[in-house]
Amino acid sequence: MKPIYDSWDLDYKSIFGAVKQNEKVRFTIRLPKNTNPEYPPVVVLFRTGFKERFISMNEIEEEDDCIAYSAWYDAKYSDVHYYYFSYKADGRRYYIKKVNCHEGSLDNGDLFQLTVYKKSYDTPDFLKGGVMYQIFPDRFCKSGKVHENIPDGRVLRDDWNGTPYYKPDSNGHVWNNDYFGGDFAGIQSKLPYLKDLGVTCIYLNPIFESHENHRYNTANYMKADPLLGTNEEFAQLCEEAHKLGIAVILDGVFSHTGADSIYFNKFGRYGNSGAFQSKDSEYYDWYSFINYPNEYEAWWGIDTLPNVIENNEKYTNYICGDGGVLKYWLSLGADGYRLDVADELPDEFLNNLRKSVKNFGSDKIVIGEVWEDASNKESYGIKRRYLLGDQLDSVMNYPFREAIIHYIKGGKPQDLINSVMTITENYPKPTVDVLMNFVSTHDIERAINRLGGEHCDDKTKDWMAERYLTAEQYSHGKNMLKSAMALMFFLPGVPSIYYGDEAGLQGYKDPFNRRCYPWGNEDNELIAYVSELGRIRKEIPNMKDGRIYFAKGINENLHEDDVIVFTRSGADKDCLVFVNRSDKRIVIENLSGHFAKFAEFESIHGEFKDDTVTVEPYGYTLVSARYVDKH
């Protein structure tokens, strides 16, 4: 018997996933013939804060064992909508709600989600189909160039492969004041390497002058940190990157500044102009003082990171105005921003930020740091509107990361499928095409450690500091990382490589995940593998914006759980992707029988011969297929 409802099936919902404002979408349910509803079923649909709408469904056809009912909805309002179905029979009211992420059930369930985004919403093309590379600037490459006007209080290290400082002082504070000297010139010198790796976009962790090596405690938004180089050297880096077809995105930290900054100036480094020195400071209104000057609101209570009032008119104008921070760095060549802790930035500020960036150029991108499903995220009691068309273009895709790692470590395939499909269903298609996908970042342990090493959540910093994988752990972690990378490269969105992952760089949590790139000690075999992924991805048009469909049950007797199979659709041909997470060579016979809707199969990568797909241990195979009815 057919399901009552399935939101992933076009026979039940005429448009998969989010819909554009003013699009019409048809909902269809199928009830057993003996149901005999007293009156036509209804779609019950509403937005948060608004009354429910009851849309009557019409009987459209009688099928073998059921009767189908349909209703059309004209999506007029950009917002996140929720819906369910209801009918009355035998004197009782029945509700059809969501179970198993997408199926309709008469049992207790959740509401279905329908995201409606603005019809004008689009995202920049330059990132679609590309490859991102995240760089922690102090730790990627040191040019050896002498930089001038280095602020006091920094420990300049000459042991490039050394362990970052992590021990607190006598007051329990970790100052993060050791610098290895990575700089703009160093990054520029490695642009050919990044080009060969397939990189089309560099994402730089903060570059503004700051007095800790992570640079999330901004001291001056309008000045590059002197250890990295000058503003002019940043502009030169962008110019040279653009010549190679590589964009550059900056990390924007706008929820707080550093206490040691020209704005707050708690330690007097910048004379007497800061909010800490005087209530007459031009920056005083940026901050919330509780008991002036020593008690103030700070990011997560860390007194070196005073919070700003983002919607303060002076602050908003300083960041978003015509002569402000955003447009200044865009004018030097930046192609957009990744926003630190986007869920701590209020809606009004995000609206103003997007307007500023897009007014400079519609091809500039805004990506937010959001760890959950960003389409229905709530923060500080507010339902967020990140992906409706007037705030973010994209987000960091932590849900994919967790799903990939969980699956590669032995999780159920259905869990991966549910995680991927839920995000692609809830997010607007323009967002999906530029999602920032990754398996490692500066905020989490490196994937090779997570996959091949010991669990570290309950371990101390001392345990993590000098903890390296054994040869056996490294080999196993590397193999699993290959499988994870294949998924990251071929799932919807844009793969983001955290610098050094491709070279076998290890590291548990901050700051050990921020070690220096191992120039001269790279794992060249792993680099070649990642380069191959980049090359193949570039050659397949489907990877730019093709929708995803998962296949199940095609090799029941051959370790089905160990190979995940999905298609990326294309205008002419679809691309079938097979990824093997196991140490076994997996053979899938009778491909045309499993995929009867396709014809003219052709190998793209890996072994495909005589209607049989072979997937090597921890490997991947790609096959193109043309629909039977396509010409």
Q: Any idea which residues carry the catalytic annotation?
A: 340, 369
Asked whether 248 and 198 are in contact (CB, 8 A), the reply is: no
Q: Other C-beta atoms within 10 Å of 427: how many?
A: 26
Asked whether 595 and 551 are in contact (CB, 8 A), the reply is: yes
Sequence-ordered list of residues with C-beta below 8 angstroms from that of 518, at least 6 positions apart, any chain: 161, 500, 503, 504, 505
Strands 178-179, 155-156: parallel, antiparallel or unpaired by DSSP?
Answer: parallel
Amino acid at 78: S
Structure tokens at 354: 């997007």
What does the alpha-carbon distance between residue 627 and residue 574 come to, in Å, rounded to a whole number? 8
Structure tokens at 2: 């057919």
Give the ranges where 198-338 is alpha helix by DSSP (H): 231-243, 313-320, 325-331
Structure tokens at 25: 């979408």
The total number of residues written for the chain in this structure = 631
Q: How far is CA 270 from CA 276, 277, 306, in A?
A: 11, 10, 16
What does the alpha-carbon distance between residue 433 and residue 303 come to, in Å, rounded to a whole number? 39
What does the alpha-carbon distance between residue 48 and residue 414 come to, in Å, rounded to a whole number? 30
What does the alpha-carbon distance between residue 99 and residue 5 come to, in Å, rounded to a whole number? 10
Spell out the SS3 assignment of 188-204.
HHCHHHHHHHCCCEEEE
What does the alpha-carbon distance between residue 146 and residue 127 come to, in Å, rounded to a whole number? 34
- Provide DSSP, 387-441: TSSSS-SEEB-HHHHHHHHHHHTT--HHHHHHHHHHHHHHS-HHHHTT-EE-S--
